[in-house]
């Protein structure tokens, strides 16, 4: 079983994603070997009211246990607290923050307050570090990711809150040494014999499977996991056990 | 089917043989049968001195001698060097050691006329040029870095030289279009993230016969890079060309 914490569908102005419905993405992920995913809408990222697309996401995946819908959330919106309460009422189990795309930093008090509120409401905060590699972004769409130092400082300010970091580079592994409340996905991490290298810096119990589909070929992340030089238990932890536990425990109030 | 990886780098670190042994061990998990070693090309920066070029090539020679069935050597050169040095190094690596081509990195832009002597020598030897390329509208430094358009200019001026342009992910659609009409230019899939659609687009514009699999290991991993080809919506026969047959043909491998 593989649970993907970093999956997207929709349209994106700088890449032809070819999966503008959850059904198309599901087909692609299943073919790659992924059995369920935390899904967000790319369309929700660049509009001023993400709920236009979040609502559509909820409606499109309702009743399909393959998907765990994760709304794109902007804590800079005036009505952010009300939005979170609505998500909670809808049974949402995780909320996705995109600091770079919504022009705030993790040191911003709004980030701290919002992440703490998300967690207090029984939802898991996912911090999306990037959607595109900075070395391939459009000239007019340069979006800087939070730095590793910024993430570490942020994590230390919210020590009682568990956060998931999606799409960080391999250097984010040092977050594993310097913090205790941050989990990282493997979608953007890469180097020779990746997972064996990662577990030298970050406990295996804090590594999660993420594909970053439909931006990426999901087969790449699946190969990272399946061909990893790790024992079966470690692969299962990364593949789904840790994520299953995180998404369930948090929603039950920690 | 044994895969041929056309883009890998050894390391002049403390234990280059240990690192290569590890690379070959990991390669085995992915059915990678042969690896093209392009040299530790950035070890001394973008403009290496003659003694540094010799050190880079000495290592490649030694590694290929140790693992002749699995490694294919390439001669790294700096076009700014003295003609006699260039000729001697070509004779040493291509004629004496049987290397399969020349690798150029970022000493000068590919369209620079200072490449001409070296290009004439490559043409005389009837060998292959592997040239680094990236989108300089993103990373800058076009005096040294080469855009796909620069590779196209070089290819037009030396139509008899077979050129493998590295890193199609960075070249993206614009770069793919730039080399479309240069029938003496091939491209590799190495480096960059496994951005979905990249390989299919390259095949649709260039044909599967002009696309070769490469990883850019050890900075990258076989898993993510092989996943690009496995995940691409292509016929099995096209994947076979990309993974293996095109490299055999281009480099005239046994």
Q: What is the pLDDT of residues B106-140, one digit of tens each?
A: 999 999 999 999 999 999 999 999 999 998 888 88
Sole residue written with tokens 């003694």: B51
Contact between A191 and B139 using a beta-carbon 8 Å cutoff:
no
Q: How far apart (Å, rounded) are the C-alpha atoms in residues B233 and A64? A: 26
pLDDT of residue A189: 96
* A contacts of B20 (beta carbons < 8 Å): none
pLDDT tens by residue, A104-131: 999 999 999 999 999 999 999 999 999 9
Interface test with A, best of B32, B203, B231 (most A CBs within 10 A): B231
DSSP line for A61-105: HTT-TTEEE--EE-TTSTTHHHHHHHHHHTT--EEEE-TTTTT--
In SS3 terms, chain B reads as CCEEEEEECCCCCCCHHHHHHHHHHHHHHCCEEEEEECCCCCCCCCCCCHHHHHHHHHHHHHHHHHCCCCEEECEECCCCCCHHHHHHHHHHHHHHCCCCEEEECCCCCCCCHHHHHHHHHHHHHCCEEEECCCCHHHHCCCCCCCCHHHHHHHHHHCCCCEEEECCHHHHHHHHHHHHCCCCCEEEECCCCCCECCHHHHHHHHHCHHHEECCCCECCCCHHHHHHHHHHCCCCHHHHHHHHHHHHHHHHCCC
pLDDT tens by residue, B185-199: 999 999 899 999 999
> Within the 170-209 window of chain A, which residues sit less than 8 Å (CB to CB) from chain B?
188, 190-194
Q: How far apart are the first and last CA of chain A?
A: 24
pLDDT of residue A251: 59
Question: Rounded mean pLDDT of chain B?
Answer: 96
Tokens of A107: 């040191």
Could you give the domains of chain A? Answer: 3-251 (3.20.20.140)
Contact between A18 and B196 using a beta-carbon 8 Å cutoff:
yes
pLDDT of residue A254: 45
Q: How far apart (Å, rounded) are the C-alpha atoms in residues A106 and A172? A: 15
Interface test with B, best of A219, A224, A225 (most B CBs within 10 A): A219
Is the predicted pLDDT of residue B170 greater than 90, yes or no? no
Who has greater pLDDT, A20 or A123? Answer: A123
CATH class of B3-251: alpha beta
Contact between B218 and A191 using a beta-carbon 8 Å cutoff:
yes
**pLDDT class of A139 with cuts at 50, 70, 90:** confident
Q: How far apart (Å, rounded) are the C-alpha atoms in residues A139 and A215? A: 18
pLDDT of residue A248: 85
pLDDT tens by residue, A147-204: 999 999 999 999 999 999 999 999 888 888 899 999 999 999 999 999 999 999 899 9
Sole residue written with tokens 């493998």: B164
pLDDT tens by residue, A201-254: 899 999 999 999 999 999 999 999 999 999 999 999 999 999 999 998 765 554
Tokens of B204: 């649709």
Q: How far apart (Å, rounded) are the C-alpha atoms in residues B41 and B192? A: 18
């Amino acid at each position: 079983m593989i649970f993907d914490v970093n999956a997207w569908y929709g349209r994106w102005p700088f890449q032809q994603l070819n999966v503008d419905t959850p059904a198309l993405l599901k087909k692609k992920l299943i073919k790659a070997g992924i059995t369920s995913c935390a899904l967000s809408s790319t369309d929700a990222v660049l509009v001023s009211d993400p709920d236009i697309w979040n609502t559509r996401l909820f409606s499109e995946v309702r009743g399909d246990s393959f998907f765990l819908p994760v709304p794109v959330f902007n804590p800079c919106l005036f009505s952010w607290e009300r939005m979170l309460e609505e998500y909670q009422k809808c049974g949402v189990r995780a909320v996705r923050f995109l600091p770079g795309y919504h022009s705030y930093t993790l040191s911003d008090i709004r980030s701290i307050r919002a992440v703490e509120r998300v967690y207090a409401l029984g939802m898991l905060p996912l911090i999306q570090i990037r959607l595109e590699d900075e070395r391939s972004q459009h000239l007019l769409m340069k979006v800087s990711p939070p730095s590793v130092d910024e993430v570490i400082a942020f994590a230390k300010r919210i020590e009682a809150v568990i956060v998931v970091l999606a799409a960080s580079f391999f250097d984010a592994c040092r977050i594993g040494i310097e913090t205790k409340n941050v989990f990282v996905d493997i979608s953007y991490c890469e180097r020779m014999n990746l997972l064996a290298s990662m577990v030298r810096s970050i406990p295996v119990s804090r590594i999660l499977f993420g594909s970053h589909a439909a931006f990426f070929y999901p087969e790449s992340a699946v190969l990272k996991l399946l061909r990893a030089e790790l024992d079966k238990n470690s692969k299962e932890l990364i593949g789904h056990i840790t994520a299953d536990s995180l998404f369930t425990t948090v929603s039950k109030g920690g | 089917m044994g895969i041929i990886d056309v883009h890998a780098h050894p390391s002049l670190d403390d234990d280059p043989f240990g690192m290569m042994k590890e690379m070959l061990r990991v390669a085995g998990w992915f059915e990678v049968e042969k690896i093209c070693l392009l040299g530790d090309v950035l070890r001394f920066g973008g403009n290496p001195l003659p003694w540094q070029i010799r050190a880079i090539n000495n290592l490649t020679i030694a590694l290929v001698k140790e693992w002749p069935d699995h490694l294919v050597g390439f001669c790294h050169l700096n076009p700014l060097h003295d003609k006699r040095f260039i000729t001697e190094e070509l004779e040493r690596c291509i004629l004496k050691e049987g290397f399969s081509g020349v690798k150029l990195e970022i000493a000068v832009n590919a369209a620079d006329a200072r490449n001409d002597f070296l290009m004439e020598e490559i043409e005389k030897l009837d060998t292959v040029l592997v040239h680094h390329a990236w989108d300089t509208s993103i990373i800058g430094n076009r005096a040294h870095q080469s855009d796909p358009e620069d590779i196209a200019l070089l290819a037009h001026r030396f139509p008899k030289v077979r050129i493998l342009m590295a890193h199609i992910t960075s070249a993206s659609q614009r770069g793919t279009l730039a080399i479309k009409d240069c029938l003496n230019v091939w491209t590799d899939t190495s480096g960059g993230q496994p951005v979905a659609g990249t390989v299919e687009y390259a095949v649709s514009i260039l044909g599967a016969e002009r696309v070769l699999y490469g990883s850019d290991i050890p900075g990258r991993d076989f898993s993510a890079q092989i996943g690009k080809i496995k995940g691409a919506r292509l016929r099995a026969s096209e994947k076979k060309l990309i993974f293996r047959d095109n490299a055999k043909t281009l480099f005239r491998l046994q």
